[in-house]
Each structure stands twice: as C-alpha cells, then as structure tokens.
C-alpha cells in the first residue's frame, strides 16, 4: 500500500472540502538590527596620511551581535576622575610663543587650547623659577652669596611677567577652566647646603621659610588672576643635575610636608593640592613611604610620575597601597633620539595616554609645550628635546607627533570625565581605554599596534558598532 505523507493528505483533504491550505510563513522570529545612533571617529595613522582626521560616522545598532572580537564597556562602573591633558609651559615655551606676532600667537593658542578648533589642552605644568628650559637661572628670591632673607622680603615673581604670565593669561582667556600645576627645580641658593641652584639639599633650618616661599608664590599668582590647582614640592627629587635641581629623599619630603608645607597651606587657607614625588616610575616606594606617614598623608592629594625609567604599572602599585590618593603623570619628552612618527605614536599612546589612564592617572602631561627649531632655548640639560609644537625663527609652526597623541584624548575627554570599566577578551595588538564625560557623552580610544588592520566590535551591553582600524594607528570614538 502506498503511504501518502500527512502533509499532502491534509492538502488533498482540504482541497476536497473546498478549503484553501493554510499560508506558510518563511519569516524567522524577529531579531532585527535597528540603527540607534551614530558614533563619530577621528584617526591618526603612523604613516601620517591621517592626522586626527574625522572619518565617516559609524552606525550604532541594537538587536544583533557581531562576529568580530568584542570590546565590552560598562559605563555604569566609574573609576578615577580625569583632571586633564597637556604639557609644560616652561620659560622657554612661553618665550618662543610670546615672540610670535599677535595673529600667529592667537592661531597657535587656538590650535592648542580650543576643543572645537584645536585639541583642547586642559592642564598645564609651570616651573616655579628656572628649569633646564628657561632663559637663565633664577628663583623668586635670589641674593648675593653670603646673604639670607628669612622674611622673604625680596620675594618677587617679576621675571615671570616677561613671558610666562602674558602667555598664560592669553591661554586662560581661551580656556578659563584650565588647571595648573607648579613645580620648583630648586630652592633659592641661600637655603641650600651647597649655596648653588644646581644640586645640593635644602638646609633643615630653612624648611619653614621654604614652605612660606610656596605660600608667597601661590598668593602672588592669585594676585595676577592665576589659580594654581596643585604643586609638587620638588621636580625629580632623586636627581642632582648641573642645572637647577635639588635632592630631596622621601623622608625629607615627608617631614617638609608634614611639619611645614601642609600646615602653612592650612594656616593661609590655601586649597592647592600637594602632590609628592614627581619622578620616574622606577621608585614607587618613594611615594608609598611618604603616604605611609599618616600625619603627612592628611595634607597630600596624590603622587606624580615621570617616564624616563621604569614601567607605567608602578602607578597601580601605589594605587593598591593608597587607593584614596590620586595618581598624576607629569613629564616625558620626545626628542632627536626618536624621530619615527609611527613608533612615537605607538609608544606615547600605549604608555602615557592609554597606559597611564589604565594605571589610575588623573592627568597626562608632556614636557615642553613649544620649543624653537634648535630644541631651545636651553638652560643646560636636554640638548635635543622636542616640544609639542616647534616654532621656527620665521614663525612657521610644526605640529609634532606629541600634538596628535595629546589631542586624541584632550579634545574629547574633558575635565570631570571618569574612566570606566572595560571587560571581555583581550584582542591581540589592540589597546584601549574608555571614559564617560560629564555631559554623558562616551569616549573610547583604541590603539592598533600591529602592521595590519584590526576589526573589532564595541558594545555597552545593548548597543554596538563595528570598526576596522588600520595598522599602526589610533582612533578616538565619541557617541
């Protein structure tokens, strides 16, 4: 007997009964892809074809997962608050900027400090007195050998009025919320055991006077309309150089802050933060030892680091011991020893911007904001350092690789943003960091360290987008 399949039988019977067969559907259950918005993207490539260049907007979708490797971001889990990104307005930087004619100067400052027309630098470091990038050696209370000034009656910031203050005031007019850190390279020579600005140590009998030196500086700057947000007691305290410098080991710095500087700030109602160390990653025990002193710690805002030795992970070591105190990355310079754009883009982004942020830093600052085409003016020290921009004698301005690495964060990650948690599988060759701004805009910075392009998907759990990033390149996404 021939067996008729059930489905055919039903069709035959339906026809026999004068009924039409039920209509069959071929549409699968709904799992539709819907466009929920757009992400903007800016890219810099190692071959310099794209330099912080806006790209075509990317569709942000819902409803379907991507087969690409995924970067998962949880914007509800906030980490450290971000204060800003920038460089140092050294005496040399202020001098070469101030030499420009008014049109050139205004255009440069807009390029540097305007977040719409430029890169929106939001944090600067100042030198209290001379550094190795000043026109000459000086402090704010210099005296002939053999003389002292315990009352600081000769204290004056007059030398800053030639270049630093005019340029700083022009910057503040463009970026009124700019934050400032100030750092001395040396106490006045008469306070030191060698009687010189180069090297030596602060004599203990001048600790209280030196604390008052900081107070007078902050008050003098305030009278000029300039608020200093943070100070460090000493630049590179473990390095005695042939230019202005001063040795200050951890115990000395702890005692200075605990017994003199902190109480002096408190007495004078100064809210300026005190940030310790301000030297290389290779000695995290220095700030840890100071912060272990509970009496000193009450006056301290955090710890600062440079990148001339050690690894960026040192900042996380300090965070693990003292998570209630901030971390600050405050100095590194590019220079003639490293001229390959792609390698500099990679190293700076990996270590100083993505790296420092992922190791709890609240800021990333580079060294000289601007230098001339001879890497100066110099006052000893580095002979071939490179500024964020180079200003030639005729006023021609070159935006160096440092300009673009700063810009990939400073333009988009604004003060008051928070770094947020990222989870999921690591993608070989890619490094990334994500932020949530105060206006709830979201920022992701991704570095591709490999030669070939990398395709990846970004998701916050409900929304996602996919992107292919060229090799040796960095991208900033904003949505």
Domain count, the chain: 2
Reading the block at residue 410, the tokens are: 């400073």
Residues 207 and 298 in one domain: yes
* In a shared domain, residues 314 and 212: yes
User: Are 204 and 294 found together in one domain?
Assistant: yes
- In the prediction, which pLDDT does 474 show? 98
Average pLDDT (240-256) is 98
Residue 3 has pLDDT above 60, yes or no: no
Whole domain around residue 233: which residue ranges? 83-415
Q: Which pLDDT score, from 0 to 100, does residue 266 have?
A: 98
On whether both 367 and 449 belong to a single domain, the answer is: no
Model pLDDT for residues 149-206, shown as the tens digit of each residue:
999 999 999 999 999 999 999 999 999 999 999 999 999 999 999 999 999 999 999 9
Question: Which residues does residue 42 pair with via DSSP β-bridges, in sequence order?
Answer: 54, 476
Q: Is residue 18 part of a domain?
A: no
Residue 30 resides in a domain: no
Confidence of residue 65 (pLDDT cuts 50, 70, 90): low
Measured CA to CA, the distance from residue 196 to residue 153 in angstroms comes to 20
* Predicted local distance difference test score (pLDDT) of residue 4: 38
Domain harbouring 431, CATH code: 2.60.40.1180
Instruction: Let me know if residue 426 belongs to a domain.
Output: yes
Question: Does the pLDDT of residue 222 top 50, yes or no?
Answer: yes
205 has catalytic annotation? no
Strands 34-45 and 397-399, sheet pairing: unpaired
Q: Which of 158, 205, 236, 431 is catalytic?
A: 236
Q: Which is catalytic among the residues 158, 240, 285, 331?
A: 331
Q: Is residue 409 part of a domain?
A: yes
What's the pLDDT at 31?
A: 55
pLDDT average, residue stretch 387-401:
97
Task: Confirm whether 184 is domain-assigned.
Answer: yes
Is pLDDT of 285 > 70? yes
Single residue among 378, 394, 415 that ends a domain in this structure: 415
Whether 128 and 66 share a structural domain: no
Contacts of 216 (CB under 8 A, 6+ apart): 140, 152, 155
331 is catalytic: yes
Asked if the model's pLDDT at residue 24 lies above 50, the reply is no
- The answer, as to whether pTM is greater than 0.85, is yes
**Across 93-112, average pLDDT:** 98
């Amino acid at each position: 007997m021939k067996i008729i399949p059930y489905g055919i039988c039903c069709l035959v019977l339906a026809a026999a009964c004068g009924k039409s067969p039920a209509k069959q559907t071929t549409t699968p259950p709904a799992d539709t892809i819907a466009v929920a918005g757009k992400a903007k993207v800016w890219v810099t490539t190692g071959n310099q074809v794209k330099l912080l260049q806006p790209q075509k907007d990317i569709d942000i979708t819902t409803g379907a997962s991507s087969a690409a490797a995924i970067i998962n971001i949880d914007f509800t889990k906030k980490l450290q608050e971000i204060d800003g990104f920038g460089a140092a307005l050294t005496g040399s930087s202020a001098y070469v900027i101030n030499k420009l004619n008014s049109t050139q100067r205004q255009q440069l400052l807009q390029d540097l400090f305007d977040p719409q027309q430029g890169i929106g630098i939001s944090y600067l470091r100042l030198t209290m007195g001379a550094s190795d990038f000043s026109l000459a050696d000086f402090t704010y209370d210099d005296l002939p050998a053999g003389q002292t000034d315990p009352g600081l009656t000769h204290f004056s910031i007059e030398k800053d009025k030639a270049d630093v203050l005019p340029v700083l005031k022009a910057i503040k007019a463009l970026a009124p919320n700019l934050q400032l850190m100030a750092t001395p390279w040396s106490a006045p020579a008469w306070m030191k055991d060698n009687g010189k600005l180069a090297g030596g140590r602060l004599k203990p009998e001048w600790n209280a006077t030196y604390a008052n030196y900081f107070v007078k500086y902050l008050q003098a700057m305030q009278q000029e309309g300039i608020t200093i947000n943070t100070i460090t007691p000493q630049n590179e305290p473990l390095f005695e150089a042939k230019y202005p410098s001063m040795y200050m080991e951890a115990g000395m710095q702890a005692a200075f802050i605990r017994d003199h500087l902190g109480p002096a700030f408190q007495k004078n109602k100064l809210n300026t933060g005190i940030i310790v160390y301000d030297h290389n990653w290779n000695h995290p025990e220095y700030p840890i030892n100071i912060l272990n002193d509970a009496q000193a710690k009450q006056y301290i805002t955090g710890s600062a680091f440079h990148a001339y030795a050690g690894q960026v992970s040192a900042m996380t070591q300090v965070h693990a011991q003292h998570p209630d105190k901030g971390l600050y990355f405050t100095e590194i310079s590019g220079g003639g020893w490293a001229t390959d754009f792609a390698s500099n883009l990679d190293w700076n982004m990996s270590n100083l911007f993505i790296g420092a942020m992922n190791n709890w830093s609240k800021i990333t600052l580079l060294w000289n904001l601007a230098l001339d085409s001879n890497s100066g003016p110099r006052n000893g020290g580095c002979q071939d350092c490179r500024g964020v921009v180079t200003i030639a004698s005729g006023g021609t301005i070159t935006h160096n690789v440092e300009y673009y690495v700063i810009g990939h964060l400073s333009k988009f990650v604004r003060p008051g943003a928070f770094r947020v948690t990222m989870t999921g599988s690591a993608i070989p060759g890619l490094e990334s960091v994500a932020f949530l701004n105060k206006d709830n805009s979201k920022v992701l910075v991704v570095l591709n360290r490999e030669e070939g392009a990398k395709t990846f998907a970004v998701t916050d759990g409900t929304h996602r987008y996919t992107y292919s990033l060229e090799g040796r390149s960095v991208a900033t996404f904003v949505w």
